[in-house]
Amino acid sequence: MGTASGAVALLLVVLGASVSSSSGQLQVGFYSKSCPSAESTVASVVRGTAAADSTILPALLRLQFHDCFVRGCDASVLIKGGNNNAEVDNNKHQGLRGMDVIENAKAQLESECPGVVSCADIVVLAARDAVAFTGGPSFDVPTGRRDGKVSNVRDGDVLPDVRDSAQVLRSKFRASGLDDKDLVLLSSAHTVGTTACFFIQDRLYKFPLPGGGLGSDPSIPDGFLSELKSRCAPGDSNSRVSLDRGSERVFDTSILRNIRNGFAVIASDAALYNDTSTVDVVDSYSGLLSTIFGPYFRQDFADSMVKMGSIGVLTGASGEVRKVCSKFN
């Protein structure tokens, strides 16, 4: 998950609901007649923001994860509430960024096509564009989502955590209609962006050791451990570390090779190579010949993004199209 720029709780309410049956009502080019400029406007806003701050790209990718895995892809994470009771106030959304980009795109679209384009669709389109602008695949995403009318702080409790084992991660993804392959592919979004030291402090200094006591995760190679400790001193929560060692700005399969070779930064990424159900998936994409004979990482990643973007969607008469993304109509 990320992913991605900002803290990284990998990537569920839907946790308990699989891909919504209403997802069939989504369609590529949904706004082709009602708001022809919808997708190009979102892309323009993302591109312009990234020109000033390239770290916004992985942040937008992470934003979609955090929206879709809580209540489905309904823009509930964008709601700002009083008394810290909105979904976004949950600690698992810590460091989440990019909401202003969505709001800027929404403002432009409201001037072009008032009341037509949902905030939920803008989130998904912006993430799609962020992938392309980091060198990842360009792909079509179906649109037609409506915005949700619920946002509760406790809803975010279902998000996967960096401390989750592979078994727990697999269970959470299955509950949302995503399989082991999707888990590996969507985790590989960590090919771009950084994480705050806050999310690896336990792995570096407070890891439960077999003989008792706390120390460093023994699975981390000595040289890499020293490297991580030099970047994240004890108690340092705010310094940042590349999630994909040596390739944080480029969308590629380097993250999977790093996971395979023991250079995963966060524990949830490392866990993918400690489970028989995910290790083969990691290996299948990190081999040198996979770009020739398959499986094809870029296409499969795009497919998983589209699949995730269909979780628990509201369509038709459900939900609403917000005028402002941060508040209900």
Would the annotation count 182 as a binding residue?
A: no
- Told to judge if 66 belongs to the known catalytic residues of this protein, a careful annotator would answer yes
Whether residue 72 is annotated as binding a ligand: the answer is: yes
**Number of helical (H) and strand (E) elements in the chain, helices listed first:** 13, 4
CA distances from 187 to 34, 162, 291, 326 (A): 35, 11, 19, 27
* DSSP line for 269-315: HHHTTSSHHHHHHHHHHHSTTHHHHS--HHHHHHHHHHHHTTTT---
Query: Any idea what the Cα angle at residue 98 is, between residues 96 and 103, rounded to 5°?
Result: 130
| 160 annotated ligand-binding residue | yes
The annotation status of 118 as a binding-site residue, yes or no, is no
Answer whether 58's CB lies under 8 Å from 7's CB.
Answer: no
The catalytic position among 1, 62, 66, 310 is 66
208 labeled binding residue: no
Query: Residue written as tokens 């997708």?
Result: 39
Q: How far apart are CA 259 and CA 143, in angstroms?
A: 33
Which tokens hold the place of 37? 């400029």
Phi/psi region, residue 239 (left: phi>0; alpha: psi -120 to 50; beta: rest), is beta
Q: 166-175 vs 180-187: helix axis angle to the nearest 10?
A: 110
* Alpha-helical segments (H) within the chain: 38-52, 56-68, 99-112, 119-133, 166-175, 180-187, 201-205, 222-231, 254-260, 267-271, 276-286, 290-293, 297-308
Which of 61, 68, 183, 196 is closest to 134 using CA atoms? 61
Q: Is 304 annotated as a binding residue?
A: no
157 labelled ligand-binding: no
* Residues 155 and 87: beta-carbon distance below 8 Å: yes
93 is in an annotated binding site: no
Question: Cα dist. 123→107, 112, 215, 308 in Å?
Answer: 14, 18, 40, 12
Binding residues for heme b: 190
Residue positions annotated with a catalytic role: 66
Binding residues for substrate: 160
Binding residues: 67, 70, 72, 74, 76, 87, 160, 190-191, 244, 252
Binding residues for Ca(2+): 67, 70, 72, 74, 76, 87, 191, 244, 252
